[in-house]
Structure 1
Amino acid sequence: MKAMWRRTCGLAVAPLVMASAVACGGGSDQASEGTTLRVIVNITPNLTEKYWNDLFAAYEKAHPGVTVKLELTGTISADAKLRQDLAAGDPPDVAQQITPTAETASLFTDLSDQPWTAKTPLTDQYAIDGKHYVVGVGEQIQSLVFYNKAAFEKAGLDPAEIRTMDQFTSAMAQLKKAGYEPLQTAGQWVTGAQFSMMADAGVLTADPEWTVKRTSGKASFAKSGYLPYLNRYKSWIDEGYLEKSALGLTYADGQTAFLNGKSAMYIMGSFFVPAADAAKKSDDIGVFTMPTDGAHPSGQFGNISNPYVVVNKSRHKAEAIKFVKWATTDPEAIKSQLASDGNLREGFTYPMSSLGTSVQQILDKAPSVLVKSGASQPIAGFSDELNKQIQSLYTGSSPADAADGLDKWWNSQS
C-alpha cells in the first residue's frame, strides 16, 4: 500500500493543565531550565490517558528536563479545546487530532523548513498553499463495515455478495428478522462520522473534486449524490434498522454493544480493530468494504492518523517541534501509535490479528484513498454541522431538510 486548575499571572481561568514552571509572560525553549510541554491529546477507548502517559514517558526519559503534560479535552473536540485555551491567553504547546485549514493555519507553526516532515505520511496532501502545518504518524481508512460472523450465518448472508446499497439494505432486513439490531450507531460524533464513511465512499469516488466544487459554489448537497444517501439513511431509521435510542449512547457504548453481539454490523474506521483485539473478539468479526451504488470496490475515505501541530503561540516552540519530530519519526513511537489505533504506514509492520489483516487486504484492493485535505478540506466546523443534520433525521427532519441545512450552513460560512 501503497484537567487541573491553573492560575496565570494572578488570574483564575478555566480548568487547564499546569503550563510551565517558567514565570508568566516568559517562557523558554531551553530544556535545561525545566520545560513542561502541554499537549492536547485525543482520548478514545484505544488511546487512553494511561496510553499517552506511557508513550510520552519514553520522550521524557530521552530528554532530561522536559516534562510532558496532557491536556484532556473532556466532551469537547481538540479544536474547541485549543480555541478555549487561546481565548484564555493560555496557549498549549502541541495539539493532536487537529487538521489545519486555510482559515486556521495562522494558529499553527509552519514546519516546511523541517526536512524530516517529508518522511511523514500524506504530508503533501495536507499542505496548505504549499506549506506544512500538520504531520502525522500513519493513515487510517474508514469506509468499512464490520460484521458479526454468527449473525450473518444465522441470517444466511454472504458478505461478499453485499456490493450495492440495495443489497446492504436487504441484508439489514434479514438481520432484523434473525433477531439482531442490524446496524450499530451512537450519539456524540458517531452519527455524522458514520454517514461520511458511507456517503463519501460513493460520492467522492465518482467525483474526487466534489468538495472543491462545493467550496466554489458549483455543487450542493441538495443536488448531488449526497441526497440519495440521506434518503437511504432516513429509510433505515424509519424501518427500525437504526435504533432512535442509539443517540443516547456514547461512542464507547456503541462499540461495546457491537462487540457484545447485540448488533450485527458497525460502520467504523480501521481504528476499531484494536478494540476488537483487546476484547478478544477479532476472530468472531469480519469486515467488508462499504457498498455503494457506483464503482465497487470504491475508494476508501481515509485520513492522516495521529496528526500533530505545534501551536504558534507556544512559549516553548523549539522544544515543541523536537517533540513532534520524535512522535512522528521515532520508530518505536511510530509502531506504538500505529498498533494502538489500528493504523498503517508504509515501511512499518506490526503483528496483526485476522481482522487487522482483513482490513489491510481491503486497503490493498482499494483503487484510491479519498483524503479531505488541502483544497478538498471542508470548511472548519463542517463535521459538527453534518453531525447535527444527520441526528435531526432521527427527530423528524427530512433528507431534503438536512441537505438544505448543510447548504445553508456552508453558504453562511463562506
Structure 2
Amino acid sequence: MNRIARTAAPLLALGLAAGACSPAGSTSGSSEEGKAEITFLTFETPNLDAKYWDGAIARAEKKVPGVSVKKLVAPSTDRTGYAKQLLASGQFPDVMIAVSPSGFAESGNLAAWTDKELAPFTFPHSNPIGGKIYQLPYNTQPTPLVYYSKDKFKKAGVAAPPKTYQELLDDSAKLKKAGINPFVVGGGGKDAFAASFLWTALVGTDVYKKTPDWMVQRRADEAKFADADFKGATDKFVQLVKMGYVDKAGLSRDYAATERAFLGGKGAMYPMGTWFATAADKNAMKDDIGVFPFPTDDGSPAVPSYTGGGMSVNAKSQHVALAKKFALAFQQDRRNLDAVVKSDGAIIAMKGYTPPDDMGPVYTATAKVYDDAVKDKGIVNAFLVETGDDSLLPGMVEKSYAFAQDVIAGRKNADQVTQALDEDKRRGRRAVLDEGAGVGGADPASALFSGHGGTPLLVGWRR
C-alpha cells in the first residue's frame, strides 16, 4: 500500500484527543460518563462511510456494558502503516480492524484469540502467526475474480467467459482487434496495491494451485522466487502487458478512478476483489456485468482467497477484556454483518450466517463463483494478501506493489522482478537476525517491521 507521510501534526492532534496521560502503547482510559473508554482504529471509504461505522459501533457498544468507544479514522487506506505510527508514538489503539497483524503480533503488541472466542467462526485458525490467531477471521474475499462486460465480449465475438488461460489470451486478442481494451487496472497515487491483482491471480493459478505451501517453503529457503513456477507466473504477467492487453493508463488512476474507468466502459475485464460486487450492483451497468475466476492452463479452479480482515486487540491496553468483548460483539452483530455484505460485498465466514435476500445480481454471481470453487476444492491462498506464517516477510509487500507497477510500465521483466524479490528476502532475513527487536521491541522477527507496507485483511478493505 501507499506510504503515509510521517508528519508530526496529525499525531500531535491525535495525542491531544486521546489524552496525554495514557501509557505507552495504549490510548485507553476513562470517559466522562464513568465508562472505560477504548479507542477503535478504523477507516472510511465510499462503501464504508462514517454513517456505517458510527451505527455499527453504537450497536456493539450496547452489548458491552461499561464501555465507551472513541473512533479513530486512518487518514488513508494504509491502516497498517498508520497503526505503526500510532504504536511508535505511544498511541496504539485498543481495537483495530483490517490491520495486518504481521509484526505487531511477533513484537508482543497484539492479544491472541482463544479457541473459545474463535468458536463462532467458520475458519477459526486462518492466518496463524506462530500458531496463534491475532485477527478475527470473519470475512472471506476472493482476490481477484475477473468482472467483465457482457456487451463488450459480445461485440468482440466472445461467446462465453474463458475457461482456460489460452482461451483468455484468445479472447483478449479478439477484444483488442475490436478496439476494446482487454484489462482495466489501477495502481496510481496512494493505491499502488491495485496494480498487483493480475500477478496475484497468476501466482494463484500457476504456483499455489500446484504447491499450496509454496510461500512456507520460500520463507524456509526451500524455494526461490526465481524458480520456474513463480518466474513463469510473473512472466505471464509481463507478457499480458507486452501484448497490449493491460491498460497502462491505469498507473495514473487510484482505486476509485479505476472503478469508474471500468464502469465507464474503458475496458472489458476488471480483475478485482469481491468488494466490487456491491458497487457494481449500485450501478446502471449491473445487468451487463458478469464474473469468472481467473483461468488456469487446464481449466481446473484456482480462486485466490483470504479469510480474515477482522478485529485485533492491543495486548497492552488497560482494558483488554472489554476490548475483546467489544470486538466480538461488533463482529457477531447481524446488522453489522448485513451492512458490510451490502456495502462491501463481503462473504461472511461466520457459522450460521446467510446474506440478505435482496442482494443484487453481481454479488449473487460472485458468491456462486466462490461457492463453486469451494465445492471443487479450488480455493488457494492470495499472493500479497496473506498475513500469517505463510505470508511474505515484513517489508516485501509494498515493494511487490512497486514491482507490479514496474511490470505494467514496462520497466521490469520476470527475471528482474524475481531476482529482486529473492535479494530482498535474503536482506530481510539477515536484518531480522542481525538487528534484533524492531518497533515494539520484544521479538527479533519484528526487526523489519518499520518497513512493512502490510496488507489488511482482507484486501477488500483497501479502498
The verdict on a shared fold, with TM-score over 0.5 as the criterion, is yes
Contact 2:146 2:291 in 1 (8 A): yes
Contact 2:145 2:274 in 1 (8 A): yes
Who is 1:3 aligned against?
none
Among 352, 356, 365, which residue is 1:347 paired with? 352
Instruction: Note if 1:310 corresponds to 2:317.
Output: no
Alignment partner, residue 204 of structure 1: 208
Q: Does the residue aligned with 2:363 lie in a helix, a strand or coil?
A: helix
Letter in structure 1 aligned against 2:423: K
Give the structure 2 partner of residue 406 of structure 1: 421
The secondary structure found in structure 2 opposite 1:403 is helix
Q: How does 1:113-192 map to 2 (within 5 A)?
A: 115-160=116-161, 162-187=162-187, 188=191, 189-192=193-196
- Work out which of the residue numbers 373, 394, 398 in structure 2 matches 1:380: 394
Structure 2 counterpart of 1:41: 42
Alignment partner of 1:297 is 2:307: no
Does residue 333 of structure 2 align to residue 330 of structure 1?
yes
Structure 1 residue corresponding to 2:364, chosen from 357, 369, 380: 357
Checking the alignment, whether the CA contact within 8 Å between 2:301 and 2:379 is kept in structure 1 is no
Q: Specify the alignment match of 2:249 in structure 1.
A: 245
* Cα distance in 1 for residues equivalent to 2:164 and 2:13: 48
Partner Cα distance (2:22, 2:126) in 1? 38
What is the aligned counterpart of 1:218 among 218, 222, 227? 222
Q: Is the 2:144–2:197 Cα contact (8 Å) retained in structure 1?
A: no
383-392 vs 115-124, which moves further: 115-124
Q: Is the 8 A contact 1:19 1:92 kept in 2?
A: no
Cα distance change, pair 407–177 in 1 and its aligned pair in 2 (3 A)? same
Task: Report what 2:460 is aligned to.
Answer: none
Report deviation, 1:59: 2.6
Q: Which amino acid aligns with 1:276?
A: A
Shift of 1:102: 6.9
1:110 to 92, 109, 112: 112
Amino acid aligned to 1:377 = S
Cα distance in 1 for residues equivalent to 2:51 and 2:214 = 40
Gaps of 5+ in 2: 1-7, 430-463
Note closer, same or farther for the CA distance 1:31–1:203 as it changes in structure 2 (3 Å cut): farther
Paired amino acid for 1:385: K
Using the TM superposition, name which of 316-325 and 143-152 deviates more: 316-325
Q: Compute the displacement of 1:300 (Å).
A: 1.7
- What SS class does the counterpart of residue 246 from structure 1 fall into? helix
The one-letter amino acid paired with 2:167 is Q
Q: Distance in 1 between matches of 2:15 and 2:174?
A: 50
Distance 1:141 1:257 in 2: 21
Residue-by-residue CA offset, 1:247-300 (whole Å, 9 max, x unaligned): 110011101111122211001111110110122432110011111224x33232
Letter aligned with residue 398 of structure 1: N
Indicate conservation of the 8 Å contact 1:182/1:241, yes or no: yes
Percent identity over the alignment is: 27
Task: Render the CA deviation track for 1:14-43: whole Å, top value 9, x for unaligned.
Answer: 453765469444954789623443222243
Aligned equivalent of 1:5:
none
Q: What are the equivalent positions in structure 2 for 1:35-114 lying under 5 Å apart?
A: 35-63=36-64, 66-75=67-76, 77-101=78-102, 104-105=105-106, 106-112=108-114
For residue 324 of structure 2, give the secondary structure of its aligned residue in structure 1: helix
User: Which amino acid counterpart does residue 84 of structure 1 have in structure 2?
Assistant: Q
| Shift of residue 330, structure 1, vs aligned partner | 2.3
Residue aligned with 1:360, SS: helix
Secondary structure in 2 matching 1:119: coil
Unaligned runs of 5+ in 1: 1-7
In the alignment, residue 360 of structure 1 is paired with which amino acid?
Answer: A
Aligned residues of 1:17 and 1:71 also touching (Cα < 8 A):
no
Q: C-alpha separation between the residues in 1 aligned to 2:85 and 2:38?
A: 18
Rounded to whole Å, the distance in 1 between the matches of 2:66 and 2:353 is 31
Q: CA deviation at 1:62?
A: 4.8
Which of 281-290 and 342-351 deviates more? Answer: 342-351
Which of 50-59 and 16-25 deviates more?
16-25
Given the two structures, how large is their TM-score scaled by the length of structure 2? Answer: 0.79
Paired amino acid for 2:353: F
2:439 corresponds to: none
* Distance of 1:195 and 1:139 partners within structure 2: 20
Give TM-score, length-normalised by structure 1. Answer: 0.88
Task: Label 1:383 to 1:280 Cα distance change in 2 as closer, same or farther (>3 A).
Answer: farther
Q: How many residue pairs align between the two structures?
A: 402
Q: Does the CA contact (< 8 Å) of 2:202 and 2:236 recur in 1?
A: no
Match of 2:231 in 1: 227
Q: 2:320 is aligned with what amino acid?
A: K
The corresponding residue for 1:369 is: 379
Post-superposition offset of 1:104 = 3.4
Q: 1:17 to 1:357 in 2, by over 3 A?
A: farther
Structure 1 residue identity aligned to 2:182: P
Distance in 2, Cα, partners of 1:374 & 1:12: 30
| Shift of residue 388, structure 1, vs aligned partner | 1.1
3-state SS in 2 of match to 1:183: coil
Q: Which letter does structure 1 place at the counterpart of 2:418?
A: A
Write the distance in 2 (CA, Å) between the matches of 1:240 and 1:338: 35
Report if the CA contact (8 A) 1:175-1:182 is conserved: yes
| AA at the equivalent of 1:201 | T
